[in-house]
Amino acid sequence: MKKTILLLLILCFTFSGCEKDDICDANTVTTSRLVITFYDFNNSSVEKSVTNLTIIAEGMEEGISYNGSTLINGSTVAVPLQTNAETTTFRFIRNFGSTNPAAPANEDIITFNYKTENVYVSRACGFKTNFTLDPITPFVQTDAATPDLLWMQVIAVNNYSIANENETHLEIYF
């Protein structure tokens, strides 16, 4: 009897120290990227793919190149904002690497201004950062080469709060 009680006590103490593994589930929402959808300037209800789009973050030499098959939804991209700053600048280059004079490469630069908020997710996942685009001056658009060659005609903020990637935050008409 004493041996059985002792064995039960040892088993209780052994299993009471066990703890669930801390693995962040892949479905857990973490820091979201800025989701941008491109639309046809002449027909604002029609989404439009960008030909050979390359996006390069400020300070980077190489960017991410997109074509119709690598965009999220044919006309949508998601770009990460800096979590340790309140400004991120991207160079959007349409027809990147083109040698065709009828469709030359065209670069527009957009600077996003925002506020950050760190939110605790869990012990396994740590913190995520939510962003809120500045409603007064959410971005400044310029052209790298010549001001009259802007390929982006209109930029509209669809959602100032960037807390998930399930919706479009920014619409660009070209």
pLDDT band, residue 123 (cuts 50/70/90): confident
Average pLDDT over residues 4-28: 69
Rank 12-21, 52-61, 73-82, 109-118 by mean pLDDT and report only the highest.
109-118
DSSP string, 100-161: -TTS--EEEEEEEEEEEEEEEEETTTEEEEEEEE-SS-SEEEEESS-GGG-S--EEEES-SE
| 138 vs 131, more confident | 131
pLDDT band, residue 75 (cuts 50/70/90): confident
Q: What is the pTM of this model?
A: 0.80
Buried b (16+ CB within 10 A) or exposed e, 131-153: bebeeeebbeeeeeeeeeeebbe
Please say whether the beta carbons of 86 and 114 come within 8 A: yes
| 172 vs 52, more confident | 172
Mean pLDDT, the chain, rounded, equals 82
Looking at the predicted structure, is the pLDDT value of residue 108 above 70? yes
Confidence at residue 57, expressed as pLDDT on a 0 to 100 scale: 92
CA distance between the termini of the chain:
83
